[in-house]
Amino acid sequence: MQIFAQLIIFTTFIGLFGWTITNQFGRIQLQVKSREDWLLDGVGLTIQGILIPLLQATLVYCLYHHLLPNYQGYLKLAPVFTFILSFVLVDYLYYWNHRLLHNRLFWQVHQVHHTVTQMDVLGTSRNTLWTSLLIVYLWIHTLLLYLLTDPTGYLLGVSLTSALDLWRHSRLIISKNSWLYRFLFPWLILPQDHAWHHCSEVDHCNYGANLKIWDKLHGTYYESNELPSVIGITTSLTFSQKLLFPFS
Domain locations in the chain as residue ranges: 2-244
AA letter at 215: D
Helix (H, G, I), strand (E, B) or coil at 248: coil
Residue pair 121/226 in contact by the 8 Å Cβ criterion: no
- Kindly report the number of other CB atoms within 10 A of residue 191's CB atom: 18
Rg of the chain (C-alpha set): 18
> What is the pLDDT, as a whole number, of residue 117?
92
Per-position pLDDT tens, the chain of length 248? 667 778 899 999 999 999 999 999 899 999 999 999 999 999 999 999 999 999 999 999 999 999 999 999 999 999 999 999 999 999 999 999 999 999 998 998 999 999 999 999 999 999 999 999 999 999 999 999 999 999 999 999 999 999 999 999 999 999 999 999 999 999 999 999 999 999 988 889 999 999 999 999 999 999 987 889 899 998 889 999 999 987 66
SS3 content of the chain, % helix, strand, coil (to 5): 65, 0, 35
Burial, 37: exposed, middle or buried (Cβ in 10 Å; 0-12, 13-18, 19+)?
buried
Quote the CA–CA distance of 16 and 26 in Å, as a whole number.
10
Q: What is the pTM of this model?
A: 0.95
